[in-house]
Homo-oligomer: A and B are copies of this chain.
C-alpha cells in the first residue's frame, strides 16, 4: 500500500520533517525546554528515526542552525547581486564614499534577512548558548564575518574609513548589527536602528571625506 521510495528520498524527507518540526519548537520554547518526544510527535515519527539520523539532540539543533545560516547567506548574496545590478553596471571606478554606501547597503541586507520570524532567536540567542559562539562562527563558515571584514578593509583602503584595528572593528560592528536585528525583531521596525547605524558609520569616515559627502 505504500508507494515505493528510494532510500535517498526517504532520508531526505525524514531529515526535512525533523528539522522543520524542531525549528518550530526551538523557536517557540527554546532548546532546553524542547524535548525529543515533543519534536518527533510534531514530525509524526518516533524517536528512533531522530536518533538514526542525528547523533543526539544537539546535532539536530545544529542542523537547524546550519539550514538557517545558509538561508541568511543566500538572502544576503541575492541582495548583493541585486544591488550590484541596480547600480550603474560596468567597471565602477569606486567613487569616494562608495565604500561606506556599500557597508550601509550590507547592513540593510543583513537586517532584512534576519527579519524572518524566529531567525534572531535561533541564530543570535539559542545557538551561541547551545553550541558556543566559536562553533556558530564555524557553521557560518566565517561567511558573515569575512564579508564585513572585506568591506571594511576596502573602505579603509579607499580612504572612506579611518584606519582602525580591523579584527576589533569587525567584531564590534557585527555586534552592532546583531543587536539591531534583535531590536528590530522585538519592535517590528528597523528604522531607528538603521538611523543610528548610518550615523555611526558616517562618523567613522575621515573628516575630509565627511565634509565632502556630508
Q: Which residues on A are within 8 Å of B, measured CB to CB?
A: 30, 32, 125-126, 128-130, 133, 162, 164-165, 167-169, 171-172, 174-176, 178-180, 182-183, 192-193, 195-197, 199-200, 202-205, 207, 210-211, 214
Contact = CB atoms under 8 A, between A and B. Distances in A.
Contact of A125 (B32, B129, B167, B175): B129
Nearest to A180: B172
Nearest to A182: B133
A133 B128 contact: no
Nearest to A174: B179
A178 B129 CA distance: 15
Nearest to A198: B164
Contacts of A129: 30, 32, 125-126, 128-130
B167 A192 contact: yes
Contact of A175 (B164, B179, B195, B204): B179
B203 A202 contact: yes
Contacts of A172: 176, 179-180, 183, 193, 196-197, 200
A24 to B, nearest CB: 19
Nearest to A134: B186
| Interface core residue of A172, A199, A202 (most chain B CB under 10 Å) | A172
A196 B183 CA distance: 23
A124 to B, nearest CB: 9
